[in-house]
Chain A
Amino acid sequence: MADALIAITVLWGFVFIYAVMATMDFGAGFWSMVYINREKTKATNIANRYLSPTWEVTNTFIVALVVAVYSLFPSAANILGTILLIPGSLILLLLALRSAFLVFSNIATEYKKPLTYISGIAGIIIPGLLISVLPITHGHYVDFADGTVNLNLNKLFSSPNEYAFIGFAITSTLFLSSLLLADYSKASNEMEAYRVYLRDGKILGPISLIMALLIMITLKNEVGWLYTKMMEDLPLLLISVGFFLIIGFGLYAPNPFQKGERGMPRLAVIAVTIQYLIASYVYGKAHLPYIIYPNVTIESAFTDPNSFRAVFITYIVGFAILFPGFIYFWSLFMNDKRYLRQKGNQ
């Protein structure tokens, strides 16, 4: 039991890291499209400056996530693979177009606009599809019948809960990325871009909060077991909502360190990350012990103990080796004034 719990925690960790990085990534791609015609504000440049070096690293996390599922919970991977064939393939097709055209748009500069439009639009649909994996694991759209499993797409796409999840994924992608880009443009001294992203954040914050509430309301009607269990952690949920106030403060309050400027984007970015961390902890805890309700639990799907031990050791060794690399990467692209404040068209 303890091992299975460790394994699901690792998996949850990957999901969380990927969720945060992917929202930044897909969101930045979308903003770079939206502001492509407003050259003066540099908002597109800022988005690209963040995106160019990071998209590959973000993409690797999605692969890490898939690998983690089948090496930690092989039989769950079997069922997930079967039911996710259609949504999974859609994600892959969009992801391929998105990544390729993102790279091409930075190389074929004369065709930048059409290429950016394709990658921006493909990119903003992906989070909506990715998050659909969650409602699918709630089990209500999966038909288990004599040895085979099937995803009931009609049932899935006629459920308000599914749409609440999709709406939440898209709005929070835009919300988180606008906060991050606000912070990034402030660090880059691009104050016009900063104001643009700060404004977007102010608009999108309340919308994504409403979407989160819609998820809870529809959950109550459709997935009672999960709702009840989430409500057991009501205090944590309330703290999570409380972080919204800190985010609001970070967006609206005058900056005590900088006269005449409003907003402390770094505070907002940190607060929003903590908020999502708490909320996804509550969700993940309530989801246990099921991976796919009600047939697949973390224990029934758990891998061989020998394999688990070997995999776990590679996690530790791998991250020990990679950690300095990540720090170096961060210092070069997130924290180096020469990169952030460069002139020119990058």
Chain B
Amino acid sequence: MSDLLIARSLFGTTMAFHIIFATIGVGLPLMILAAELIYQKTKDQDYVVMAKRWTKAFAVLLGVGIPTGTIAGVQLSLLWPGFMEVIGRVMPLPFQIEIYAFFIEALFMSIYVYAAERIAPWMRIASLVLVAIGALSSAVLITNVHAFQGTPAGFRYEDGKFLDIDPWAAFFNPSFFVTAGHVALSAYVVGAFVVASVASFKMMKNKIGSRVYLFHQKALVLSLVVGGIFAFLTALNGHESAQYLHKYQPEKLAAAEGLFETQSHAPLAIGGFTDPETKEIKGAIEIPWALSFLAGNSFDTVVVGLNDYPEELWPPLFIHTLFNGMVFIGSALIMVPLLVFAWRKFLKKAHYPKLMLWGLVTTGPLAIIAIECGWIFACTGRQPWVIYHILSTAESATTATNLGTLFISFIIVYMILGLSVVLVLLYFFRKNTELDDIERAEKKSIPLFSSNS
């Protein structure tokens, strides 16, 4: 492997690992907040117990999300010093403002967890709202840097110099709102379906109609409602993201769809593999005219094909599969809640059959796979550029060599963290069962939150 390839793999691994915890870290607070609010309305203790247990899981995940995020932030400067020099000069605001979002999240997360019993209920809700806002803002702001990489703005670039710098214009670069919206909405999808997975798994393991079963059934219904709504919004917004690619990064869309000839009435290819030798897509189901319509809301839209670009500027062609994976999962996650509700409301079935529960268990992991596909598609599909048509990845990379040992060390540490976080979660929730928490909630005298936090 060349040093550049190792640097790319190292950074990609860091991001792929961080994103799991970061996305759940954005999504879960919304679920906790929903449960707290339902409790305030219904006074059903089960929802407090849910909020408490999810908070606990959230606190554990933070133990990995924060250090891996710190790695991501510092590694940007260590591996891509050329890139960060440009970002520092032209686009410093998102990172700068993000720090405040981190502070808000960190301060109020500690307050929510360690001072829960000492503050008024409204203050507890307010802290939680601030945690959710902090997490959401960090996601939106960091995504803004990524948006800038795709649609750079706010400067004039001449002879390798950055002139007429306007940091706010860079901040409000063309794809900011669409991209940040997509990341935020999809994070809520992930948060909801991760909860749905756990709830349906627990329902399978407990007797139908038992106390614990009913507890998880409430969680499942809540998560499917939230998840379904946000999956639908994500797809709508994803459509808009694709149109932005058509407008701003046409070669990325062409590679995502395996399109070589520039044409109107372009077909949408689903599945299959792109063959660079014969310049065609193999084994795909093609829907005539659909791509043109997707890209510009009209069949006459001319979609640019890869042949218009020299081959060395093509993004890697496997991003077609990543794009398909994301869209396929996104569509499935809209259907799943609809099917479950149809089953319950129209077919009037009282129980969830085992097969359906197994299906529901897969939704959380699928949502995470969609996130990974989406990001690798977005970042790798930008290659060979780190800032689109301005700065190449190779130019921005560190000049240091022998990165192999570092790569291996980071992988080992991620494996240790990944394994131990799973073990810690399993250990904790086995030792503190739902029943323990429900009992604690019923006996008012025992503090629910800090009793074991």
Main secondary structure of the interface of B (DSSP, over half): helix
* Residues of chain A from 31 to 71 with CB closer than 8 A to chain B in the complex: 52-54, 56-57, 59-60, 62-64, 66-67, 69-71
**Nearest A residue to B84 by beta-carbon distance?**
A70
**Nearest B residue to A312 by beta-carbon distance?**
B96
* Least distance between B165 CB and chain A CB atoms (Å): 5
**CB-based contact A81/B78 at 8 Å:** yes
* Residues of chain A from 81 to 96 with CB closer than 8 A to chain B in the complex: 81-82, 84-86, 88-89, 92-93, 95-96
Residue numbers in B under 8 Å from A53 (CB-CB): 110-111, 113-115
**CB-based contact A329/B107 at 8 Å:** yes
**CB-based contact B115/A78 at 8 Å:** no
Residue numbers in A under 8 Å from B166 (CB-CB): 306
Residue numbers in A under 8 Å from B102 (CB-CB): 60, 63
* Least distance between A14 CB and chain B CB atoms (Å): 10
* Residues of chain B from 70 to 101 with CB closer than 8 A to chain A in the complex: 70-71, 73-75, 77-82, 84-90, 92-93, 95-100
Residue numbers in B under 8 Å from A98 (CB-CB): 67
* Residues of chain B from 112 to 165 with CB closer than 8 A to chain A in the complex: 113-115, 118-119, 162, 165
- A residues contacting the other copy or chain, number (CB 8 A): 71
Q: With the chains together, A326 CA to B84 CA distance in Å?
A: 30
Q: With the chains together, A339 CA to B424 CA distance in Å?
A: 26
Contact of A322 among B59, B103, B113, B162 (CB under 8 A): B103
**Nearest B residue to A345 by beta-carbon distance?**
B452
Q: Is residue B357 within 8 Å, beta carbon to beta carbon, of the partner chain?
A: no
Q: Is residue A311 within 8 Å, beta carbon to beta carbon, of the partner chain?
A: yes
* Least distance between B116 CB and chain A CB atoms (Å): 11
* Residues of chain B from 27 to 84 with CB closer than 8 A to chain A in the complex: 56, 59-60, 62-64, 66-71, 73-75, 77-82, 84
Residue numbers in A under 8 Å from B110 (CB-CB): 52-54, 56-57, 329, 333
Q: With the chains together, A93 CA to B420 CA distance in Å?
A: 15
**CB-based contact B165/A85 at 8 Å:** no
- B residues contacting the other copy or chain, number (CB 8 A): 72
**Nearest A residue to B87 by beta-carbon distance?**
A70
Stretch at the interface among A101-109, A179-187, A286-294: A101-109
**CB-based contact B115/A339 at 8 Å:** yes
**CB-based contact A66/B114 at 8 Å:** no
Q: Which of A63, A77, A339: most chain B Cβ within 10 A?
A: A63
* Least distance between B446 CB and chain A CB atoms (Å): 12
Q: Is residue A325 within 8 Å, beta carbon to beta carbon, of the partner chain?
A: yes
* Least distance between B375 CB and chain A CB atoms (Å): 20
Q: Is residue B390 within 8 Å, beta carbon to beta carbon, of the partner chain?
A: no
Q: With the chains together, A122 CA to B111 CA distance in Å?
A: 27
Q: Is residue B307 within 8 Å, beta carbon to beta carbon, of the partner chain?
A: no
Residue numbers in A under 8 Å from B113 (CB-CB): 53
**CB-based contact A325/B104 at 8 Å:** yes
Residue numbers in A under 8 Å from B56 (CB-CB): 107
Q: With the chains together, A313 CA to B71 CA distance in Å?
A: 27
Known: A74-B86, A100-B64. A311 touches B96 (CB 8 A): yes
**CB-based contact A104/B99 at 8 Å:** no
**CB-based contact A96/B417 at 8 Å:** yes
Q: With the chains together, A105 CA to B105 CA distance in Å?
A: 22
Q: With the chains together, A150 CA to B401 CA distance in Å?
A: 10
Query: 28 pairs across A/B with beta carbons < 8 Å?
Result: A53-B115, A57-B110, A60-B99, A63-B102, A66-B77, A67-B92, A70-B87, A71-B95, A71-B96, A73-B88, A80-B77, A81-B77, A82-B400, A89-B78, A92-B74, A95-B67, A96-B70, A97-B413, A100-B420, A104-B60, A108-B428, A110-B427, A148-B399, A304-B167, A314-B96, A322-B104, A325-B103, A332-B118
Q: Which 4 A-B pairs have the closest CB atoms?
A: A103-B63, A74-B88, A71-B92, A81-B81
